[in-house]
Structure 1
Amino acid sequence: MATDQGASMQMNDGPANRRRIPVDEAIVALLAHVEPVSDHERVRVLDAMGRTLVEDIPAPADVPPFDYATLDGYAVRASDTDGAAPDQPVSFEVVGVLAAGVVASRALGKGEAYRILTGAPVPPGGDAVVPFEGTDGKGFGGWDGSDAMSLGLAEKRVAVRVQVQTGADVRRRAEDQRAGEVLLRSGTRVRPAEVAVLASAGIFSVWVHRRNRIGVLSTGDELVARDHVGPLGPGKIRDANGPALLALVSRDGAVPVDLGQALDEPDSVRASLLKGVDQGCDLIVTSGGVSMGDRDMVKHVIRDDGEVSIWSIDLRPGKPFTFGRFHGVPIMALPGNPVSAMVTYELLVNPVVRRMQGDRAAVPVEVMAIADQEILNDSGRENFVRGVARIDDRVRGSVEWHVRPT
């Protein structure tokens, strides 16, 4: 959805007015011209992947819902282990075995212990877990096979050789979240981690913003049909931009709408853009036709049938760029060079797509990295270089990003 909020960056067609806008300034201006779509729907949590939450989601119950053991050992009263040491163990009566999902039949008394496995609820009266390595307990560690259960059931007493403090190796009820506290904020993008949080709270459906419909149009007389088989004719090339941009739109959680290809003629470009308007696109992304050539028609059609807000970015690759509105629909016109088109999508279109889908964290994240070889920039513009990143963690306690140009 387009908006008139934010500072206007309207520009005329005269060369003197074509100021190249710095990338950071362009991102701020673009985000000021769009807002999240107002439509939303309730979907299953797994179907919410890549989409953005409409409302805060409170925890319906404490997480975790009870105190539980974080390792295998013995549930005890911590005070009963006072003075325990390897050369002076304290003997406990084993009154039962607790596995995950099993609740104690009675509370612990003085000098008593439950044999307990990871994830099992701590019994009433118990306030600590002694790791089995600190005892003479048998059958732990998964090394005794089928005999482990019989060894555990036959156990009557255990010698504890370490002193533990209250709360040792116990995960407390509500340690992650208390009932009523906000689990996830409105504007959060749902990823696998968020799915896990929702599942742990017993939440199976959520309200999310509707997926944006984003039209993708390739332009150029030189393009052959996408399904063309066989040799290319003189001066002809295949359309790499259309499929690449459609894939990026899909990756970003929106619905890609293929508007096909248009010739470098005003009527052809206009008809293709109108098709996007008629198909209910929330945003249209084009490639080609925005430079200074006599056959670059996209920018002229946008100007004649709508308005241009941003024209030309101080960016390499990707200087030719246009943002405006065509019959009320936001449109982002990218360069025709495939590398430039993908770079400008990542830098400029991706934040807009995320903002329109309600994502609060729409701006790209920057990290410091060490260049493994010299990188020169004599273009006079901000230069974005394709590269390969790796993590170097050979220095203990330090993690560094390294990059090299491709």
Structure 2
Amino acid sequence: MRATLVTTGDEVLPADTPSPLPPGRIRDTVGPLLGGVLARAGFVGVGPPGHCADTPDALDALLDAGSGSVDATTGDVVVLVGATGRGVADLLRPALARTGARIVLDGVRVRPGGSQLVAVLADGRILLGLPGNPLAAVSAAATTGRALVDALTGRQRTPVSRRVHGLADLATPGRSRILPARPDGAGGWHLADRVRTAHLADLAGAPALAVVPEGGGPDADAGADDLVEIIDWI
């Protein structure tokens, strides 16, 4: 599956923008990294990220075949970073409705990355919408991105499951968690007990992500001896 990567956010500047930055602007920290994450998930042909302005017209053009400043027609899947929330500044869902797209996955009960979505565009391309927070974007790309490749290609993979330290203390009620995982050198894994989604520092030294099932319910409690899926993100 070929993927075209596009970032959004008028406040986001290219990663190599020199200091000092203009007031209210930030560098793109996740765009340059996501190509490798998507390749690990099974996508091919992921080039440097394009950028789409935060306007209805720009989003409509991106989603319409053959129009807009970003050529997103060469890939099977458009991977869009940002605009997936439900705030007044998040314009993706209205644009999908205007352009005749069909949303097939609207949010996942997981943290970080819950606001991700998957849609079928009017011309048959697939849109994978990633949250704008860097760690949430990486988590969704590594997990849902991998599942999307499997679904579209018929590929079957055997999940890698391992026991981790302190699992019972990491599960939370109501939703699963995706946590950076570090090997302990003896066949087990240590997981971060918290993550900060606004940057990527918590991924340093963590070559994998662990999907911790939700806890707090009679049928969904994570116990100390449960196996947890471990996903290589890079």
Q: Give the TM-score of the pair, scaled to structure 2.
A: 0.70
Residue 241 of structure 1 deviates from its aligned partner by 2.4
Q: Counterparts in 2 of 1:51-130, with a 5 A limit?
A: none
Q: Deviations over 1:162-219 (max 9, x none)?
A: xxxxxxxxxxxxxxxxxxxxxxxxxxxxxxxxxxxxxxxxxxxxxxxxxx32011111
d(CA) in 2 for partners of 1:377, 1:360? 28
Q: Is the 1:259–1:272 contact (alpha carbons within 8 Å) kept by the matching residues of 2?
A: no
* Higher-Rg member (1/2): 1
The answer on 1:249 being equivalent to 2:38 is yes
Q: Counterparts in 2 of 1:145-160, with a 5 A limit?
A: none
The answer on 1:342 being equivalent to 2:138 is yes
Q: Secondary structure at the match of 2:13?
A: coil
RMSD value over aligned CA atoms? 2.5
**1:313 match:** 108
Q: Deviations over 1:54-112 (max 9, x none)?
A: xxxxxxxxxxxxxxxxxxxxxxxxxxxxxxxxxxxxxxxxxxxxxxxxxxxxxxxxxxx
The counterpart of 1:300, out of the listed 86, 91, 94, is: 94
The counterpart of 1:279, out of the listed 67, 70, 73, is: 73
* Paired letter, 1:325: V
The counterpart of 1:332, out of the listed 128, 140, 144, is: 128
**1:404 match:** 191
Residue 253 of structure 1 deviates from its aligned partner by 5.0
Residue 259 of structure 1 deviates from its aligned partner by 5.1
The counterpart of 2:52, out of the listed 252, 262, 280, is: 262
Q: Is the 2:4–2:74 contact (alpha carbons within 8 Å) kept by the matching residues of 1?
A: no
Q: Is the 1:318–1:344 contact (alpha carbons within 8 Å) kept by the matching residues of 2?
A: yes
230 and 352 in structure 1: CA distance in 2 versus 1, 3 angstrom threshold? same
Q: Deviations over 1:345-403 (max 9, x none)?
A: 11101222244355332x6x1413131587334463111221212342xxxxxxx4232
d(CA) in 2 for partners of 1:342, 1:298? 19
* Paired letter, 2:96: I
Unaligned runs of 5+ in 1: 1-211, 393-399
d(CA) in 2 for partners of 1:351, 1:235? 36
Unaligned runs of 5+ in 2: 193-201, 203-234
Q: Is the 1:284–1:332 contact (alpha carbons within 8 Å) kept by the matching residues of 2?
A: yes
d(CA) in 1 for partners of 2:59, 2:148? 23
d(CA) in 1 for partners of 2:116, 2:164? 30
The alignment covers a number of residue pairs equal to 186
* Paired letter, 2:116: F
Q: Secondary structure at the match of 1:371?
A: coil
Residue 404 of structure 1 deviates from its aligned partner by 3.3
215 and 336 in structure 1: CA distance in 2 versus 1, 3 angstrom threshold? same
* Paired letter, 1:401: G
Q: Is the 1:217–1:272 contact (alpha carbons within 8 Å) kept by the matching residues of 2?
A: no
Q: Percent identity?
A: 23
380 and 373 in structure 1: CA distance in 2 versus 1, 3 angstrom threshold? closer
Q: Is the 2:38–2:141 contact (alpha carbons within 8 Å) kept by the matching residues of 1?
A: no
d(CA) in 1 for partners of 2:8, 2:54? 6
